[in-house]
Amino acid sequence: MTDTKNATAAQVELDPSDLFAKAYAPVEAQALRQAGMFPYFHPLGGQLGNEVNVNGESMLMVCSNDYLGLSQDRRVQQAGLPALEEFGTSCTGSRFLNGTLALHEGLERDLATFLNKESALTFSTGFLGSLGVLSALVGRRDIMYFDRENHASLYDGARLSWGDLRKFRHADLDHLEFLLKRDADKAVGKLIVTDGVFSMSGEVADLPGIVELARRYGARVLVDDAHSTGVLGPNGRGTPEHYGVEDEVDLIIGTFSKAFASVGGFMAGPAHVVDCVKTTARPFIFTAALPPAQVASTHKSLEILSTEPELRERLWKRVAMFREGLAGLGFDTMNSEGPIVPVFIGEFDDAFSFWKQIWDRGIFALPAAPPAVPPGECLIRMAVNASHTREEIERVLAAFADVGRSTGMIS
């Protein structure tokens, strides 16, 4: 094996017995960096409203998941200060040990009430929520049925469980029924897992169809509502409320890093099921608790989105303006129904070239490429929030019109 301390990059790359060799091999990220076309990890120097500072230049942010604009709300910002002063910066331990605060349990009670579920549990990140719930509940020989475009955290949760994974074609309920029917005679637990709003396309899952199949074949339903809790439904309770099937969805998982303008994750469902996860899920038991200031800020966001429906009303007006503007220009916004508004590009090189030209016009929007999307289906992923002004949306539309015509994507 090559001595990496003294070896050149070329020597390491050529040594197949060296674990680090793959890190030195030519990859797309390196090529993009060398060409000045790498779109990710740009450090922000500050933010005022939707304007962010990047390398001393002001850019208009249009890909944040801050759907209700609450990260810039002074009430949410100030809510964390008393908790910071009382409890410090961290619990420095897991919820299982010294990390359970009255703050955590207060948020969990109010979140469960908001979502019309018996109980709720918070996690340090949304990703950990997916890992914890699936690994704790899905046992050996149990079966999970996944929409192919489910979030990566769900797939990692499935890998951490002992269950079998069946993937159905995206939004294809006939294929889902085929898989359920094939397993109908098996006396094992069955769980249908779907995103509520899919994170790349903004498409909303057909929950009524899914719950009908679940009833017919004796399966439970878990919805990852990360991109719709606080946003969809008359009261912001997400995809189940949007469709009127709240009582038929067994478990909801989600994150506080979108509409709640914070960080952390959650699950909500029957009290015994939540307690099972709380006492057995390794990703929960062995992770430091959500910091006190974040819990308090999240709780304030929950209070605001529960009592100020005008935020959602303003959001949906801006979403409609943006989506209709892009479609009117001739862009394909796919099947987006949520605040995520993608523009379909297609090939990798075309998407990154389009992104760079948008970027150079002061628009902070990013491309989505494999593995986030299938090969040949690259897109520019954007998201609207309630604080975007009409003038800001018009600015983005003007930039897309300019780049679209110059690249020949639109006429």
Q: Identify which has the larger pLDDT, 248 or 8.
A: 248
Kindly state the tokens that stand for 115: 């979502």
CATH top class, domain 29-61+310-407: alpha beta
CA dihedral (76, 79, 84, 85) in degrees, to 10, reads 150
Q: Is-contact 204 172, C-beta < 8 A? A: no
Q: Is-contact 139 190, C-beta < 8 A? A: no
pLDDT tens, position by position, 320-347 = 999 999 999 999 999 999 899 999 999 9
What is each CA distance from 220 to 23, 143, 176, 242, 410, in whole angstroms? 42, 10, 14, 19, 45
Query: What does pLDDT average to over the chain?
Result: 95
170: three-class secondary structure by DSSP:
coil
Residues of the chain with CATH 3.40.640.10: 72-307
Residues marked as catalytic: 199, 227, 258
Q: What is the pLDDT of residue 51?
A: 96
Q: Amino acid identity, residue 81?
A: L
| DSSP code string of 223-270 | EE-TTTTTTSSTTS--HHHHHT-GGG--EEEEESSSTT-S--EEEEE-
CATH of domain 72-307: 3.40.640.10
Task: Give the model's confidence band at 357: pLDDT under 50 very low, under 70 low, under 90 confident, else very high.
Answer: very high
Task: Give the model's confidence band at 11: pLDDT under 50 very low, under 70 low, under 90 confident, else very high.
Answer: low
pTM of the model: 0.94
Q: Is-contact 283 135, C-beta < 8 A? A: yes
pLDDT tens, position by position, 103-138 = 999 999 999 999 999 999 999 999 999 999 999 999
Q: Is-contact 256 298, C-beta < 8 A? A: yes
Residues of the chain with CATH 3.90.1150.10: 29-61+310-407
92: three-class secondary structure by DSSP:
coil
**What's the rounded Cα separation, in Å, for the pair 70 and 206?**
28
